[in-house]
Amino acid sequence: MGKNKLKRFAENKRFSHVVEPLKEEILQGLSLAGYWNRDIFKNNNPITLELGCGKGEYTVAMARAFPDRNFIGVDIKGARIWRGAKTVEEEKLSNAAFLRLPIQWIEKAFAPQEISEIWITFPDPQIKYRRSKHRLTHPDYIKKYTLLLQEKGLIHLKTDSEFLHGYTQGLIALLGLEVKDAYYDIDEQMQDRAHLVHTVQTHYEQIFRSKGKAISYLSFYS
């Protein structure tokens, strides 16, 4: 393991806004579940999650844009989380935090209806059928999100994958959920250029755009 990665892991441990529970802690139910606002943010503002946050581009951007809301980036990769966590420390953003956690255990980290919105930004589309249960918009995951989200909580999906966009739209119809916005190509179809969907680009989005891929966006109510 490289020295830079070890240094980042060490920094994560000293950041008060980075939570890295042990597997045993997660499986028995995280003690923070239901108490994120009280123990981490020290307020009662709405909480938004960014799942598979990577370097936390959306978590940080949303925290800057909406100081009256709280944001938590979730990812299993500690070295990626470090980048967002470092920015939060440098900018003294009190409304952003990070959780290192496998997303399949997300329901063990939060209490029912503790979350107001969820962002899923450029997840692996898991195109092969045998990997379908790992799609972050698979019905099993949607059930978990619905448990955590408040009534009419929003789920946002931004992706370069036509397959994942179409799959998720079909799933929404099957489950009887309500679509808020749906764009197959945000550059051609989405007029609100000030929206976070346009103004924030993740590391992966920049890569996909450089290859000429269209970026799609879908939001729906749980």
Q: E strand or H helix at 136, and its extent? A: none
Backbone angles phi, psi at 138, to 5 degrees: -65, 150
List 39, 75, 124, 185, catalytic entry: 124
- 124 flagged as catalytic: yes
Four-point Cα dihedral 180, 182, 186, 192, nearest 10:
-30
Report how far residue 59's alpha carbon sits from residue 168's, in angstroms, rounded to the nearest whole number: 23
The DSSP letter of residue 177 is: P
Report how far residue 164's alpha carbon sits from residue 170's, in angstroms, rounded to the nearest whole number: 10
Report how far residue 122's alpha carbon sits from residue 186's, in angstroms, rounded to the nearest whole number: 14
Tokens of 173: 């119809």
Catalytic residues: 124
